Each structure stands twice: as structure tokens, then as C-alpha cells.
Amino acid sequence: MEYKFNNRELSWLSFNRRVLQEAQDRNVPLLSRLQFLGIYSNNQDEFSKVRIANLMRLTRPKRKERPQQLLGGYTPTTLLTEINRQIDASQEFFTETYNDILHEMEQRGIFVVDEQHLTETQRTFCADYFASVVSPRLVPLILRKSTPIPFLPDDMAYLGVKMSCDKGTERYAVIRIPVSKACPRFVVLPPTEEGRSELIFVDDIIRLMIDDIFFMFNYDHITVHTFKITRDAELTIDDDVSKSLFERVADGVSNRRYGSPVRMVYDRTMPSDLLGMLAEKFGLRDPETLYPGDRYHQMKDLMKFPKVRPDLLTVNPKPLRHPHIEPFRSILRVVRKEDLFFNYPYHSFQHLIDFLREAAIDPRVESIAITLYRTAEHSKIINALINAAKNGKQVSALVELKARFDEEQNIEHTDLLQREGVRVIHTIEELKVHSKLILVERHEGNGLRGYAYIGTGNFNEDTATIYSDFGLLTAHKVIVEDVRNVFRFLSNSHKPFRYKHLLVSPYYMRQSFMELIDREIRNARKGRRAYIHAKCNSLTDEKIIERLYRASEAGVEVRLIVRGACCLRPGETGIGEQIQAISIVDKYLEHARMFLFCNDGNEVAYIGSADWMARNLDRRVEVCTPILDKQIHRQLRDVFDIQWQDTVKARDLSDQEHNPYRHRAEADAPVIRSQTATYDYYAMRNTTNK
């Protein structure tokens, strides 16, 4: 039978439209809706840098060859056309949503004004602000038709300037909009009346003062228009064997800043001659690489819109203390007796930091090993590792240099850790280490006892407040030995080990998941109850999807919670009728992965770092662990069931074009917002365990 798939890129665009839905949802606090617009815009930018850039490379083969067929039946060329169509349609919704939010903000006394609508007091304020804050950071560039344009990095917006005289002479210039912590994108203006907040884009302060910038030129007319470029974000690592991987990644990150432009979004009122000059300078000759837009670009800055009205922002409840952990008491002592399960941000991430801090000063702890993928800029995790090294512990950190868009920070952290005496390990170039592991070895009795942490999310205290993730802290001897073997694999010969409990990619995880699915298929064919309940970020692996289709054909109940791209078609006649799939987009980013299999009534459960994607199963080091503790297993099952019953933020993935909300089956059924219900579930457990 021929199975049908959704295209990965188009399914991802569908996910980002679900983010846009959050900005459109009037039940979301008003300024939080503005932040969702920023998240949507940031997502689109990264999509252009990575996915569109990759497709553009595929459309330019070096030799004549048959067009490559992509998942979903597209060629790179036809897929680019469809992507551009969908992006254009989504941008219209973005603009409409943004204008609606601005209107509602005005009804609540918050006004975003431009340079044409300032009082004299505000004009004076802007002139002073320009002189003291903005002007020192400006570097205007004069464009000449006969010379190349100076290099302009992406991740920022620019102003294209045209100066013209009635006599017919013209000049062109470019100004980078200098956004930073010291010069934010949005500037709060002096209020014109009590209870009224007014803000202005820093772009418009520059527009206001444009004559002061170009005072030395003679012109009769001057116009200013925003544009933004996107560059190919492919990280190219050279094959110079005389350099370490660290040096080659550092060089690659430096070179990536100079990636080829793949897209330019511009103010649609920009004069055609200015547009043509910029397009020529950037080498953007294909009309599909030029996107007309509105007055403002780089709208990801909406994520940092000033908190002028905290009452119009989402207020998240304070993370809960784990019921089995007492303040200023040993966490290691608790883990010796029982496994600990964390579900961030419902549980406090501080527990994990405290665990490392305790290990750093415990005189019996001999060593700490950890994998680091994305960490906070000012990381408490890294501080704890440095403290451990200063206390004489053997500390090893596998720092993944190839974590996309975090390479530069990871290079800086590598340098810091090495200076402080931490052994930093870099894996082989072909394998990206995405697993989330900690191993603490402690002298107890006549030998060493290990304590292992296996998680689904990064060791990052900043994102742990907004990403929903799982973590297991255990002293289970077999699991700990498996974790030891993962670190041996990473730090020594890269020789594969056999694992008794853990599912580890790239060698065994795919095979293990296939066997777990096949067992459900066999049980269904024998007339036994069979189900697969899974939650992940993305489901794009063709072989896994085919196996799930076969499970559906055999009568296995398949329930999927997939936040992002889902190439499987749930409910598809003949192949996916036993499959249901939802996506939950809410105030927390659903990042946890769990996999539940009926196993003829003796359910098995796994959590881990891997999605069901080819890259996770075949080209990364990922780890999933079974949940052996019955109480924790029950919690995991309860959390899945709560999310599956969501009637507020769940979308039905059988229609990814429209992303319909999944409403209550019956009018008298309870309204369930799973993220709120999950917090209440853990809060109730805390009360019960007192």
C-alpha cells in the first residue's frame, strides 16, 4: 500500500500558524498576544535561514539531474512556490492581527506613535534621546552604483534612504537600526496625560532626525524605508585536519555571518530604484526572494515590548517545590531511596541546580559528568561545575559545539570551563550530542555509587521557566551503568555499547522503537488490547510513520501529541483511521517527549531527548529511559491523559491547513486547559504528600 505523508516544511508552517493563533486569541492577555507575534516572527526568520536556504540550494544542482522528490510529493522548486504562497497568506494574518492588537491597546491607553504624531515635548525628548543614545551607535553607509555594498549582517533591520534634488541628482544610503539592551527597539515617551502610555519605534526616532544625519548633503526630498535581509545559516565546517573541531566550528560560525542572502523583506512603499539597487547589491535576482512588507520589520523585537502594563501580561504561577525535597536538605540522600521525577516549569528547576551544587561540595563525590547543548547566558549550571572543579572533583562536560544558533555561546562556555579546570569533551564531527545527561559518582561503602539524571530539555534555567520538560533523577544501578556507558562512548573510543534499559541512538533507538510498535501490532492481531500513546516535538521520520500506519491498520489505538511538524496524516481513510493527533500551543512551549506502549496491559513508559525524526534516530546521540518507578509511571500516564483531554489549547492535526481547535465532545463536559490542569495536578499531589 502507498502511504501518504505531509511535507515537513509545510507542516512546520502549520505549526507556526498555531503560534499566530495564540496572538489572535482574545483570551490571552493583550501584551502577551503581542509577544506571540514576536515569537511567530522569530520562528519565520529561522525557517528562512535554515529551511528556505536549504531548498534554494537544492534548486541549483551542480549538474543536470532528475528533480529530487521530497516528502509529500514536492520537488524543491514546487515546494518553494507553495511555501512562498503560504508565507504571503500568513503575513496578511500577521498584519491584520498586529493592527487589531494595536487598536485594543489604544482602548486601554497604550499608544504606539510615529514621528508624525508627537507633541513638542515628545519631539524634544526624542531629539535628546537621539543625540545621547542613538546617534553614537549609527554608521550611515552611502551606496554607490559602481561599488559593492559593505557587508550587512542579518538579525537586524535597516533603513534604506533616498535623497533627491529637483534637478534630478540622487543619492542612496543605508542605516542599521542599532537595537541592543542599551538602545531598545521600543522607547517609552513622556506621557501626555495620566493613565496614558506612549511608545515609539527607535526606527521612527531616526526618521525624525534624518535631516540631522545627512545635513552635509544638498537634497530637496528624502524618504526612509525599512528592509531586512536573511542569510543562509548553514554551518560549514572545513576539513583541515590540522585544526581541532573547536577551531573549525569557531571558524564556521565566523564565516556563517557572511552567508549568502536568501531573502529580503522591504517596505512596499520603497522606490523601485532604491529597491533595485539593494537587490542587485545583495545578488537577489529572483523575484521570489523579494518580499514586499509593511513599514516595520524585525518584528521578533515584539517579544521584548516594554512591560508598561503588567496587568495585561500572562502571570505564570510560581514553580512548585517537589514534595520529596526539603529546603537545605540533601537531595542525594533522597535519590538513594527513591527516583525523583520533575516536570518543569511546574516543578522548580532550582532542584537540579541544588543537586549539582550539593555534589560540588560533598567530600565523598569523586566526579561529575554532563552533556551541555544549550545553556543560559549566565549559567548557574556552569557555575556549579566550575565550583566542583575548584573543590577537586573530576568534572567532565560534553559541550555540543554544533547546537544551531548557540555555537558562539558554547564556544565561550568551552573556553570558560577549560580555564577553570573542567575537562571539556567534543564528540566526533558526524554526531551531534543532543542527550540530556548528568552522572555523579560518590564514594559509598567499599566503592562508587552513581546518580544519574536523564532529561528531555536543556540544562538552562532561563528556558526552564517557559519550556515544559521532564527529568528523572535516579540511583537505579542498571540505569546508572547504562549512563556510564554513554559517557564512555562519548569520551573514549566512540565504540558502541550494549544497554540494558536505555534506548540510545544512533545505534539502537530506532530498532527498539520499531520493536515496541511491532509488539503492539502483534497483540492487536491476536485480539488483545493494544495502543501507542506518544508525545514529541516533531514526527517526521518516514519509517516510524509507516510503522504507525501499519499499527493503525492492525487496529492499534494511536494517540499522538505533536507540537511542531507532523508528517503523518491522522484519520486518513484506509491507513490512519485508528490514529488521532493533536498539537498543544499555549503559554509554555511543549518540549517534553514521552512514549507509552500498552504491552498487553503491562504498560511501558519512556521519556527522553529524542523526537521521532531521522536526525534524532540516526545522526544524533539521544537517550530515552524507561520509567520503572510505579508512582512516577502513574504520574506520566496522568499527565498524558490531562493533555489528551485539552479542550482549550489543543488543535486537531487531521486538518493542518486550518488548525481547528479541539472542542468538548459534549456540552456538559468539563473545560480543560491542560497546562493549568497539570499545575493543579502537581499542586494537589504536594498537598496530599504533606
Provide mean pLDDT across the span 16-30.
97
**Residue 498 or 514, more confident:** 514
Distance CA 659, CA 342 (A): 31
Region 397-415: mean pLDDT is: 71
Indicate which residue of 297, 351, 426, 434 is catalytic. 434
Question: Which residue ranges does the chain devote to CATH 3.30.870.10?
Answer: 331-493, 504-688
Give the end-to-end CA distance of the chain in Å, rounded to a whole number.
Answer: 56
Phi-psi region of 555 (alpha: psi -120 to 50; beta: other; left: phi over 0): left
Q: Cα(606)–Cα(613) distance, rounded to whole angstroms?
A: 16
Look at residue 441 in the predicted model and tell me its pLDDT.
98
Instruction: Answer yes or no: are the C-beta atoms of 504 and 371 closer than 8 Å.
Output: no
Tell me the three state secondary structure of residue 342. strand
For domain 331-493, give the fold: Endonuclease; Chain A (3.30.870)
Of 139-153, 407-421, 558-572, 609-623, give the lowest mean pLDDT range. Answer: 407-421
Give the pairing of strands 432-433 and 620-626.
Answer: parallel
| pLDDT for the residue 610 | 97
In this predicted structure, what is the pLDDT of residue 151?
Answer: 86
Asked if the peptide bond before residue 345 counts as cis, ω within 30 degrees of 0, the response is yes
Please, what is the Cα angle at 265 between 264 and 271, to 5 degrees?
Answer: 100
Q: What is the DSSP letter of 563?
A: S
CA distance 600 to 520: 8
pLDDT of residue 203: 97
Q: What is the mean pLDDT of residues 148-174?
A: 90
**pLDDT at position 247:** 43
Which own/partner contact pairs does 647-650 have at CB distance under 8 Å and 24+ positions apart? 647/671, 647/672, 647/673, 648/672, 648/673, 648/674, 649/584, 649/585, 649/586, 649/673, 649/674, 649/675, 650/582, 650/583, 650/584, 650/674
Of the listed ranges 11-15, 422-426, 437-441, 511-515, the least confidently predicted one is 422-426
Residues 559-581: tens digit of each pLDDT: 999 999 999 999 988 888 899 99
Window from 138-147, 210-219, 232-241, 435-444 with minimum mean pLDDT = 232-241
pLDDT digits (tens, 9 = 90+) for 253-286: 444 455 788 889 999 999 999 999 999 999 888 8
532 pairs with which residues across the strands? 558, 597
**pLDDT tens-digit map of 500-539:** 999 999 989 999 999 999 999 999 999 999 999 999 999 9
pLDDT at position 413? 76
Over range 602-611, report the average pLDDT.
Answer: 97
CA distance 157 to 520: 53
What are the start and end residues of each CATH 1.20.58.310 domain in the chain?
1-108
Report the range of poorest mean pLDDT among 228-237, 372-381, 424-433, 499-508. Answer: 228-237
Q: What is the 3-state secondary structure (H, E, C) of 159-191?
A: EEEEEECCCCCEEEEEEECCCCCCCCCEEECCC
pLDDT in tens, 450-469: 999 999 999 999 999 999 99
Instruction: Verify whether residue 476 is a known catalytic residue.
Output: no
Q: How far apart are CA 557 and CA 549, in angstroms?
A: 11
The single residue listed with the C-alpha cell 530515552 is: 624
Average of per-residue pLDDT values in the chain? 90
Q: Would you place residue 68 in the very low, low, confident or very high pLDDT band (cuts 50, 70, 90)? A: low
- The reported pLDDT for the residue numbered 402 is 63
Where along the chain do the CATH 3.30.1840.10 domains lie? 113-300
Distance CA 239, CA 66 (A): 29
CATH class of 1-108: mainly alpha
Pick among 3.40.1030.10, 3.30.1840.10, 2.60.40.420, 3.40.50.410: CATH of 113-300: 3.30.1840.10
**What would the pLDDT profile of 189-246 be if each residue is shown by its tens digit?**
998 888 899 999 999 999 999 999 999 999 999 999 999 998 887 644 344 334 444 4
Q: Burial of 510 by CB count in 10 Å (0-12 exposed, 13-18 middle, 19+ buried)?
A: buried
CATH 3.40.50.10210 fits 504-688, yes or no: no
Query: For the residues 612-638, what does the mean pLDDT come to?
Result: 96
Calpha distance 376→386 (Å, rounded): 15
What's residue 67's pLDDT?
A: 58
Query: Mutual orientation of helices 380-390 and 407-419 as an angle, nearest 10°?
Result: 20
Share of the chain above pLDDT 70, in %: 92
pLDDT score at 251: 45
pLDDT tens per residue across span 317-331: 999 999 999 999 999
Q: Which has the minimum average pLDDT: 41-50, 382-391, 517-526, 612-621?
A: 41-50
- Specify whether the CB–CB gap between 262 and 230 falls below 8 A: yes
